[in-house]
Structure 1
Amino acid sequence: MRVAIWGASSGLGAAMVDYFYQQNIEVIAIAREPSKNPKLNNKKITTISCDAIDKDQVQTAVLALPENTLNISTMGSFGADIPVDYIGHRYLIDALEKSTSQHLLLVTSLGCGESWKYLSERAKMGFGGAVREKTLAEAWLQSSALRYTILRPGGLKDGAATYKGELSQYIEVHGAIHRTEVARLSHELLLNSNNYGKIYQCVDPTVTPY
């Protein structure tokens, strides 16, 4: 298995890199500024610099991937002048469709798609714009030719994998989860082709939201 992680310089993407590296899986780390994550250089992980709101850079990055690379995207840009959540993923999905790497695990968030109605008014006011952008990315992916899986985690917190994270579908859920646990569940989803074309959400009942 070879995994390219988009958004690898910080947050969930950095946790993904750490997790898959520890599983002895070949990792390619892609970010606008990979140097922001010094662990990438320390671990001698292959990196690609790519600003995802630049279509040409995305196409170049995808062309640099070895054949049949699995892709995980954790890209997000809450509060940015030009958010990557939709347009960056649109460029990525379009480029992957023309490549030999046809599988994308897209990590978005609770509240996307049909789960929008479960978001509190406070959440909609606080980060609803980002959720709507991510929902557009999900729709673009669902209408693509890629083999895809979508994962919507709850509130993200630092911490080790707990092995208590719960995947679910079609129900209302709220809560938090460690970033490393999201990485572990992502690995689980990648290992089973039955997960293609499906949307999951995940929270960890053992992790307090605040």
Structure 2
Amino acid sequence: MTKGILIFGGTRGTGLEVARLLRARDDAVTVLVRDESDAAELETLGATIVRGNALDPVAVDAAFASGDFRAAVNTLGGKRGERPRPDIEGTRHITEAAARAGVRRILMVSAIGAGNSRTAVAPKVLEVLGEVLEMKTQAENGLLNSGLDYTILRPGGMTNDPASGTAIKIEDHNRMGVINRADLAALLVECIDDDATIGKIYHAVDPGITWEAPLQRGENFPERK
């Protein structure tokens, strides 16, 4: 029997899209879900739910102990000003727990502007999101130094539009672009069992999407009304 996939950050956004794609091809999926989060769609999909918070190392260990996994997918993010950051502390807990559990394959969503890709983003992005990107860099470095079989995908701007099917992953770390979350999820799923992607950091962009996020254009975030 094929081993399953463990997802962190799977109740919404890219993580939920990953769960949908995996269940559509009948992969066994387990998702760590916070107590206060709605897991109804995941349950409908047939995913196994483990309740807990990625900020709690005991809960992360329990998630890895709940099944037999060939890979873990980390789509954790955080809000500006949020402390502690799930995508730093949570990533550290996932990395350490994976090593203890013998799960070597880890796939993570980061962001263009992290690590060696600062030159890909506009000065306004660094002005507003510089602290977040530095934290993303820390999260990347923790995985890079873990000795695990990692793949990191860095999206730039993201939309909730339907999948276009034209998104690509490239190793040009100066490339900025936009991608639909559904397409980002498809790229992640493609990478899971592709050994050629191990040890790689990709920028995930859709050449068919030509608009730029406000910060990349040098503008401020639109004011909320």
TM-score, length-normalised on structure 2? 0.86
Deviation, 1:42, is 2.1
Superimposed CA distance per residue, residues 67-104 of structure 1 (whole angstroms, 9 cap, x where no aligned partner): x4311100011222321111111111011111132110
Pairwise CA RMSD: 1.8
Deviation, 1:13, is 1.1
Question: What is the match of residue 92 of structure 2?
Answer: 90
User: How many angstroms apart in 1 are the aligned matches of 2:123 and 2:48?
Assistant: 42
Superimposed CA distance per residue, residues 132-156 of structure 1 (whole angstroms, 9 cap, x where no aligned partner): 1111111111111211111111211
Question: What is the match of residue 223 of structure 2?
Answer: none
Worse overlay, 16-25 or 146-155 = 16-25
Question: What is the match of residue 65 of structure 1?
Answer: 67
Displaced runs of 4 or more, over 3 A? none
Question: What is the match of residue 142 of structure 2?
Answer: 140
Contact 2:23–2:46, Cα closer than 8 Å, also in 1: no
Contact 1:34–1:47, Cα closer than 8 Å, also in 2: no
Question: What is the match of residue 155 of structure 1?
Answer: 157
Superimposed CA distance per residue, residues 1-47 of structure 1 (whole angstroms, 9 cap, x where no aligned partner): 52111101112111211222222222112232474242112223211
Question: What is the match of residue 77 of structure 1?
Answer: 78
Question: What is the match of residue 106 of structure 1?
Answer: 108
Worse overlay, 77-86 or 134-143 = 77-86
Worse overlay, 35-44 or 130-139 = 35-44
User: How many angstroms apart in 1 are the aligned matches of 2:212 and 2:41?
Assistant: 28
Percent identity over paired residues:
26
Query: Structure 1 residues 84 and 155, CA, compared in 2 at 3 Å: closer, same or farther?
Result: same
Worse overlay, 13-22 or 97-106 = 13-22
Tell me the amino acid that sits aligned with residue 143 of structure 2.
Answer: L
Query: Structure 1 residues 118 and 30, CA, compared in 2 at 3 Å: closer, same or farther?
Result: same
Worse overlay, 21-30 or 133-142 = 21-30
Secondary structure of the 1:174 match is coil
Tell me the amino acid that sits aligned with residue 79 of structure 2.
Answer: F
User: How many angstroms apart in 2 are the aligned matches of 1:34 and 1:206?
Assistant: 37
Contact 2:8–2:54, Cα closer than 8 Å, also in 1: no
1:1-210 → structure 2 map (5 Å cutoff) = 1=2, 2-33=4-35, 35-66=37-68, 68-79=69-80, 80-207=82-209, 208-209=211-212
Contact 2:120–2:173, Cα closer than 8 Å, also in 1: no
The alignment of Structure 1 onto Structure 2 pairs a total of residues equal to: 209
TM-score, length-normalised on structure 1? 0.91
Which of 1 and 2 has greater Rg? Answer: 2
Secondary structure of the 2:184 match is helix
Unmatched 5+ stretches in structure 2: 214-225
